[in-house]
Copies of this chain bind each other. A is one copy, B any other.
């Protein structure tokens, strides 16, 4: 696993210091001689750095394999694409699973982090790689929060930015869902106040419940209805639920239930519960306007970065209204911004799925920005 150990470490917003700091990352394509073709892709809550290659734990394709690769909208024949595991994650970057100086894992003693801390860790990695300026920062959901924070913190270091299916602040509803997730995890006795490793345990049920709930919020009602509707399936696991023969509905379960259970149980094999707690908190803290009296424009005044803000029509977790708010704020700040709402009935997850209009938007924005950056046209 590629990672950089940054001995100087990082002083977090909360005042704690993480030193040394590990940033795990993967790259795709070649850095140009001018070092001007780097694209940073930022992952979402449960994503990781395995963007465009087989995942070492699940064996599945990278989470954005359909978007990133030779000839694809984020074209690795042309760009040098970097993806880091976020600070606080569990795939190699410093996080709750990392060891403290005393040799113990951090667990819940891991200090609270923010989206800005995540971005500053990425900036340290770019320094380490000798990349001063990104051609583009791109990401969806929590990845989009990082993109926004990148431009707010380092406006000179990002030529183009695409925040996708995201928001300039985490909403009360989303904070509420995250809080229920955290309660589900901490309610699991196998969580052992976050020291589950001491007991050879994993809070699998609690983390599974958290994932199941979150998964509903990633889909639209339409998508759930189309995928599952009210169809039932016979499942041996549910037979014991009733004293009846499975001759009727009562012996069966709905397909959507079976699907969610699978989502919950497969997730816990690859994700750390304390990372989930840490990262959801970071999302909840996110509010770009907090230091500016609620003015979302303020962090972007005078900024030269070219923006393309993307939302999906059926996304109710990060609804179009929040992207529109962002686009208007960028406009008010005099920033070069385009705003695209992709018509899709697949909810928040649409940004990960095959959406041809989205691919065209991505290609168009990257090609246009590359031309303005003097990188020339695609070959």
Q: Given that A230-B287, A249-B285 are contacting pairs, would A175 and B256 also be in contact in the complex, using a CB cutoff of 8 Å?
A: yes
Question: Does residue A75 face the partner (Cβ distance < 8 Å to B)?
Answer: no
Main secondary structure of the interface of A (DSSP, over half): helix
A242 CB contacts on chain B under 8 angstroms: 14, 111-112
Question: Does residue A308 face the partner (Cβ distance < 8 Å to B)?
Answer: no
A173 CB contacts on chain B under 8 angstroms: 216, 219, 221, 224-225
* B112 touching A216, Cβ below 8 Å: no
Pick from B108, B183, B250: contact of A264, CB under 8 Å:
B183
* A14 touching B250, Cβ below 8 Å: yes
Pick from B108, B209, B254, B264: contact of A284, CB under 8 Å:
B254
Q: Given that A206-B187, A243-B109 are contacting pairs, would A176 and B14 also be in contact in the complex, using a CB cutoff of 8 Å?
A: no
* B284 touching A14, Cβ below 8 Å: no
A264 CB contacts on chain B under 8 angstroms: 183
Question: Does residue A302 face the partner (Cβ distance < 8 Å to B)?
Answer: no
* B187 touching A224, Cβ below 8 Å: no
Question: Does residue A359 face the partner (Cβ distance < 8 Å to B)?
Answer: no
* A209 touching B230, Cβ below 8 Å: no
* A179 touching B212, Cβ below 8 Å: yes
Chain B nearest CB from A233 CB (Å) reads: 13
Q: Which residue of B lies closest to A319 (CB)?
A: B221
Given the complex of chains A and B, what is the CA–CA distance between A244 and B16 in angstroms? 9
Question: Does residue A257 face the partner (Cβ distance < 8 Å to B)?
Answer: yes
Chain B nearest CB from A353 CB (Å) reads: 18
What 0/1 readout, one digit per residue, does chain A (87-131) give for beta carbons within 8 Å of chain B? 000000000000000000000110110000000000000000000
Stretch touching chain B among A3-11, A140-148, A164-172: A164-172
* B228 touching A172, Cβ below 8 Å: yes
Q: Given that A180-B213, A230-B287, A316-B316 are contacting pairs, would A257 and B206 also be in contact in the complex, using a CB cutoff of 8 Å?
A: no
A221 CB contacts on chain B under 8 angstroms: 171-173, 316, 319
